[in-house]
Chains A and B, each alone.
Chain A
Amino acid sequence: MLRAKNRLGLIFFPAFDWAISPTHPEREERLLYTQDQVFEEGIADVEGIKFYNPGMATEKDVQRVHFCVPDVMSRVTESHLISAGGAIKAAEVVMEKDVDKAFAIVRPPGHHAQRVVFGDRGFCIINIEAVMLENVRQRFGNRRIAIVDTDCHHGDGTQDIYWNDKDTLYISFHQDGRTLYPGTGFLDEFGGPAAMGYNINIPLPPETGEEGFLYVLDNLVIPILEEYKPELVVNSAGQDNHYTDPITNMNFTAHGYAELNHRLNPDIAILEGGYSIEGALPYVNLGIILAMAGLDYSHVMEPDYDPKKLKQSFRITEYIKGLCEKIYERWRRKEDISRETLKGREYVTRARNVYYDTDGIMEEQVQKFKVCSHCSGLNTIHSRSDRGYEIFAVSIPRDACQACIDEGYKIYKEIPTGKYYKIYLQDRVNDVYMSQG
């Protein structure tokens, strides 16, 4: 029998009894053909590959990351907690050294879920990677972590959650926001005052192919990771860059995803989007599994794979080269940029409108970050949805200094009751979460 070079944990949970709605892309059928392929290949018989059931994330796991309005349990379903629980399981078996690597093939996805949650955005309610990572940090101590997001959409949720966190480097590959939902993910979205430069967006032109993705990986992502030296690399493994995906415009392949995974060599991969359920997912997931296990993936190929048709144009190749140079240059200059931007400022604010496409909700939000020389800085969120709910959230970061902790509690206590629909306090130092209203 085959033996995996890397011991690999698989959390394969297709949630065959859950859908957003019967014809929604996020429906029961989504991982059916992937399961067929994984079963037919006999993956479970490969020595060194082990299947695990997901656990269930707790309310507290979610509160470490999100401010759910009105509360966690009214926003999420069991399926969301299981999806996040699957991600947590993946991290757990890696951290406990039961396996070398783990891949959670779970649904629904999470990378569009931001800090404040009024509803479902881009099929996501809670950010399963972030819920996983904060659970890991709580149980196994703080870790320096890099998230490489290879979903075709900008992971605006993950960006938001780790905006001001230097210990979490977020790098997102995605189709240029001018041409695709959610319309964000540009170069100047560069991180908050405590983590400037640690949010890296790589907006790629439509029709980017294998050549382009691997170029970005080799010439930009890997060099940055070598400098950052993460203790843990997570691949947010969305599969909608595939050439058959119905809702995007890229030309990536199953072999390309496997190759990318092989070169990136993540500790943990978590499925995100990807809705070509027959033509892409069975092959892409298989490719990633084989690459992570250190097995030969050269025979993984889609039925209609045609390298000539998928060849990237010269124009795109040149554009990507220029883009990588620009992004790398900004990464190199991040300290200077940070110094210039923050000079003499006590606070930095970030005001945005957030649209919840799946639920049709519009949110207006202002985040306010304290520039603190001792820690990442206390920060607050003032937010209002077009359904008339107005909330205020106080967040004490993991590395908060005593002054920031005290200030956080003071603000939380001094807000007059009744002023907001809900007031939240997120104390990451003491792992304490409260709300009123």
Chain B
Amino acid sequence: MIVGLDMGGTHVDACLIDRGNIVEQAKTPTDRSDLFGSIWKTLDDLLLGKDFSNLERINLSTTVSTNAIIEGKTTPVGMIIESGPGLDPSFLACGQENVFISGYIDHRGREIKSVAPEEIEEAAARFRKKGIKACAVAAKFSVRNPMHETKIKEILKDEFFPVTMGHALSGKLNFPRRVFTSYLNSAVYQVFKAFCESLRQALAKKEINAPVNVLKADGGTVSLDAAEKYPVYTILSGPAASLMGSCAFNPADKDAVFLDIGGTTTDISFVADGVPLFEPLGISIGNLKTLIRSVYNVSIGLGGDSAVSVENGEIKIGPRREGFPMAMGGPVPTPSDAMIVLGLLDFGQKDQAISAMKKIGEQLGVDARAAAQAIYEKMGEIIKQKVDSLLADINSRPVYTVKELLYRKRLKPEYVSIIGGPARAMAPVLEKKFQLPCRVPKHFEVANAVGAALAKTTAEITLLADTAKGTLSAPEIGLYEKIDRNFTLEMARRKALELLQQRASMLGAEGSEMEAEITEESSFNMVRGFYTSGKNIRIRAQIKPGLLYELRGVDYA
């Protein structure tokens, strides 16, 4: 049996899954002042009277780190930023104290200017003076050569904790995001650690030994131990939980649009050949862009409770929510009122919904039913248009080879999956607008908990072998070693897959769930003068997000 738990802004949902069937569900309101308490209460309810010895794992999607960041309840961080030449780095000052140092490493990972230990000592003195305990170090091109970040950590580690190093979080090139991601990891470290400790204690008390995993924004999991070390991986996992949960009810190998229609917003995601589409670089939180891989998710201000008005004879829906639908005593007409009038939804006072539609109808010169129909159609239209424009963006993401430019795969959805309160009600109009089959999973109210439950560990590795320089780097596991001049692409592939297994084990993967794949590879002939001086081999490999099982049960298809 597997436990899946998703903590949302208003509720904590949990489910117990036994061999592909949901056998138990639980739900409690989220107490923002006691997130751990809310989770524990939900788990307690879910497992009441169950035999814990059968528990294979407990998977959680939590907002512990996310809330700390959004509510500003983070730890002060001392930042050491080694920016080298390039952009004016002053915009990177995201810590409580920020020290810019003068060393630098170039694009091939060569040390151009070494770390000046006195600059680090001076930084330490500044942090000390402010009583800062947590640090983060980010150097430009540290993913090409982690030496400077490692050296600086060596100097700081006895006095400061944690000391996050940028290269360990992601192998991708993007220095500003490396700075912000490192900062966030140190900033949420204590909050998340406290959560981990409470959870471990509570589980021990109940004698539950099942391994605990935490959902990441990319739809994969990490073990609780790894999450404690890299808490930044746990931010903004909600959309991933929802998407993975929806995936569990849908065909596994097609392109599709995934909609989560709520009261205030509609979230839009996509899958390509059944695999979630990612943000190109990483997720943004507040005004910080990160390198945390995440599912692509766009939220628009359109939901069942969005305010409906008429402007210049045109229906306008959202982006604001003024309150409940009028059928529930709310202040302004909403799409929910329209769907109640059309008989697609059934809650609240129907007569109040009708008077809401009359109000809109008067301004349009039609009766209540026609107004309701127009709002309903408009809502479908807005979603369709937004999805089309996102698809156009996605299909024009930059490419860098002639082959990709001419023959790249273009995302072409074959169905639409809808979850959320008005999902069933919206399915007919969306089917008409999209001209695609729409699918509504039966248990969508626990889709997020299901997504968390069924998610598997994901991991990535970035490998660069520079045979002219004779070095190999794989930043995510801190590897930087000498290689032979005769190192080949084939050797690099094997090495990458081997390192990926290592990385995945570090993050908590079990052997059976690892489906490793190489996602990008290239090998460049390096020529200096008129002679080949070596090869520049680049590989990216991943264990992609996937589900332990698929579930059955779609009631609108």
Which residues of A pack against B, CB within 8 Å? 1-2, 12-18, 22-23, 27-29, 32-33, 35-37, 39-42, 44-45, 51-54, 78-79, 82, 246, 278, 282-283, 286, 290, 295-296, 298-303
6 A-B pairs with the lowest CB-CB distances in the bound complex, closest first: A42-B176, A39-B173, A296-B88, A36-B107, A17-B401, A301-B85
How many Å lie between the Cα of A35 and that of B401 in the bound state? Answer: 13
Does B525 have its Cβ within 8 Å of any Cβ on chain A?
yes
How many Å lie between the Cα of A295 and that of B108 in the bound state? Answer: 25
Which residues of B sit under 8 angstroms from A44, Cβ to Cβ? Answer: 280-281
How many Å lie between the Cα of A29 and that of B88 in the bound state? Answer: 28
Residue from the list A278, A282, A296 in contact with B87, Cβ < 8 A: A296
How many Å lie between the Cα of A128 and that of B111 in the bound state? Answer: 38
How many Å lie between the Cα of A374 and that of B527 in the bound state? Answer: 54
With A1-B289, A299-B85, A299-B89 as contacts: A53 and B398 at CB distance below 8 Å: yes
How many Å lie between the Cα of A246 and that of B402 in the bound state? Answer: 27
With A1-B289, A42-B175 as contacts: A53 and B399 at CB distance below 8 Å: yes
With A40-B140, A82-B405, A300-B85 as contacts: A16 and B175 at CB distance below 8 Å: no
Residue from the list B86, B112, B398, B399 in contact with A41, Cβ < 8 A: B86
Does B377 have its Cβ within 8 Å of any Cβ on chain A?
no
The answer to whether A15 touches B525 (Cβ under 8 A) is no
Question: A45 — nearest CB in chain B belongs to which residue?
Answer: B289
The answer to whether A78 touches B402 (Cβ under 8 A) is yes
Question: B143 — nearest CB in chain A belongs to which residue?
Answer: A40
Which residues of B sit under 8 angstroms from A54, Cβ to Cβ? Answer: 405
Interface residues of B in 277-330 (CB under 8 A from A): 280-281, 287, 289
Which residues of B sit under 8 angstroms from A78, Cβ to Cβ? Answer: 402, 406
Does B96 have its Cβ within 8 Å of any Cβ on chain A?
no
Interface residues of B in 20-66 (CB under 8 A from A): none
**5 CB < 8 A contacts A-B:** A1-B287, A16-B522, A41-B86, A42-B289, A286-B86
Q: Interface residues of B, CB < 8 Å — how many?
A: 44
How distant is A95 from chain B, measured CB to nearest CB, in Å? 18
Interface residues of B in 104-124 (CB under 8 A from A): 104, 106-108, 112
Does B524 have its Cβ within 8 Å of any Cβ on chain A?
yes
How many Å lie between the Cα of A246 and that of B529 in the bound state? Answer: 8
The answer to whether B176 touches A32 (Cβ under 8 A) is no
For the complex, would chain B's binding face be called helix, strand, loop or mixed by DSSP majority?
Answer: loop
Which residues of B sit under 8 angstroms from A18, Cβ to Cβ? Answer: 401-402
How many Å lie between the Cα of A52 and that of B396 in the bound state? Answer: 8
Does B548 have its Cβ within 8 Å of any Cβ on chain A?
no
Question: B86 — nearest CB in chain A belongs to which residue?
Answer: A41
With A28-B524, A33-B108, A286-B86 as contacts: A2 and B173 at CB distance below 8 Å: no
With A29-B536, A35-B400 as contacts: A53 and B526 at CB distance below 8 Å: no
With A23-B531, A36-B173, A42-B175 as contacts: A13 and B85 at CB distance below 8 Å: no
Between A15, A41, A42, the greatest number of chain B beta carbons within 10 A of the residue's beta carbon is seen for A42
How many Å lie between the Cα of A13 and that of B406 in the bound state? Answer: 13
User: C-beta contact mask, B166-182 vs A, less than 8 Å → 1, else 0?
Assistant: 00000011111100000
User: C-beta contact mask, B516-557 vs A, less than 8 Å → 1, else 0?
Assistant: 000000101111011110001000000000000000000000
How distant is A330 from chain B, measured CB to nearest CB, in Å? 40
The answer to whether B174 touches A42 (Cβ under 8 A) is yes
The answer to whether A1 touches B525 (Cβ under 8 A) is no
The answer to whether A13 touches B173 (Cβ under 8 A) is no
How distant is A271 from chain B, measured CB to nearest CB, in Å? 14
The answer to whether B401 touches A40 (Cβ under 8 A) is no
How many Å lie between the Cα of A290 and that of B177 in the bound state? Answer: 18
How distant is A308 from chain B, measured CB to nearest CB, in Å? 18
Which residues of B sit under 8 angstroms from A15, Cβ to Cβ? Answer: 400-402
The answer to whether A2 touches B87 (Cβ under 8 A) is yes
With A16-B401, A303-B112 as contacts: A39 and B87 at CB distance below 8 Å: no
How many Å lie between the Cα of A44 and that of B279 in the bound state? Answer: 13
Which residues of B sit under 8 angstroms from A32, Cβ to Cβ? Answer: 524, 536
How many Å lie between the Cα of A184 and that of B524 in the bound state? Answer: 35
Between B87, B104, B280, the greatest number of chain A beta carbons within 10 A of the residue's beta carbon is seen for B87
Which residues of B sit under 8 angstroms from A40, Cβ to Cβ? Answer: 86, 107, 140-141, 173-175
The answer to whether B527 touches A29 (Cβ under 8 A) is yes
Q: Besides A41-B176, A290-B87, 13 other CB < 8 A contacts?
A: A2-B87, A12-B400, A16-B522, A32-B536, A39-B174, A42-B289, A45-B281, A53-B398, A79-B402, A286-B86, A296-B87, A299-B89, A300-B86
Question: A304 — nearest CB in chain B belongs to which residue?
Answer: B112
The answer to whether A41 touches B87 (Cβ under 8 A) is yes
The answer to whether B532 touches A23 (Cβ under 8 A) is yes
How distant is A288 from chain B, measured CB to nearest CB, in Å? 13
Question: B525 — nearest CB in chain A belongs to which residue?
Answer: A22
The answer to whether B86 touches A2 (Cβ under 8 A) is no
Which residues of B sit under 8 angstroms from A14, Cβ to Cβ? Answer: 400
The answer to whether B88 touches A298 (Cβ under 8 A) is yes
Which residues of B sit under 8 angstroms from A82, Cβ to Cβ? Answer: 402, 405
The answer to whether B401 touches A299 (Cβ under 8 A) is no
The answer to whether B402 touches A282 (Cβ under 8 A) is no
The answer to whether B402 touches A37 (Cβ under 8 A) is no
Question: A15 — nearest CB in chain B belongs to which residue?
Answer: B402
Which residues of B sit under 8 angstroms from A301, Cβ to Cβ? Answer: 85
How distant is B280 from chain A, measured CB to nearest CB, in Å? 8
How many Å lie between the Cα of A372 and that of B73 in the bound state? Answer: 78
Question: A305 — nearest CB in chain B belongs to which residue?
Answer: B85
How many Å lie between the Cα of A226 and that of B287 in the bound state? Answer: 42
Which residues of B sit under 8 angstroms from A37, Cβ to Cβ? Answer: 86, 107
The answer to whether A12 touches B398 (Cβ under 8 A) is yes
Which residues of B sit under 8 angstroms from A286, Cβ to Cβ? Answer: 86
How many Å lie between the Cα of A394 and that of B529 in the bound state? Answer: 43
Residue from the list B177, B402, B525 in contact with A29, Cβ < 8 A: B525
The answer to whether B86 touches A29 (Cβ under 8 A) is no
Residue from the list A29, A52, A79, A246 in contact with B526, Cβ < 8 A: A29
Does B206 have its Cβ within 8 Å of any Cβ on chain A?
no
Which residues of A sit under 8 angstroms from B86, Cβ to Cβ? Answer: 37, 40-41, 286, 299-300
Which residues of A sit under 8 angstroms from B522, Cβ to Cβ? Answer: 16
Question: A54 — nearest CB in chain B belongs to which residue?
Answer: B405
How many Å lie between the Cα of A300 and that of B84 in the bound state? Answer: 9
Question: A24 — nearest CB in chain B belongs to which residue?
Answer: B527
Which residues of B sit under 8 angstroms from A51, Cβ to Cβ? Answer: 398
How distant is A213 from chain B, measured CB to nearest CB, in Å? 20
Which residues of B sit under 8 angstroms from A282, Cβ to Cβ? Answer: 107
Question: A296 — nearest CB in chain B belongs to which residue?
Answer: B88
Interface residues of B in 78-108 (CB under 8 A from A): 83, 85-89, 91, 104, 106-108
Does B409 have its Cβ within 8 Å of any Cβ on chain A?
no
With A1-B289, A51-B398, A300-B85 as contacts: A45 and B174 at CB distance below 8 Å: yes
How many Å lie between the Cα of A35 and that of B91 in the bound state? Answer: 22
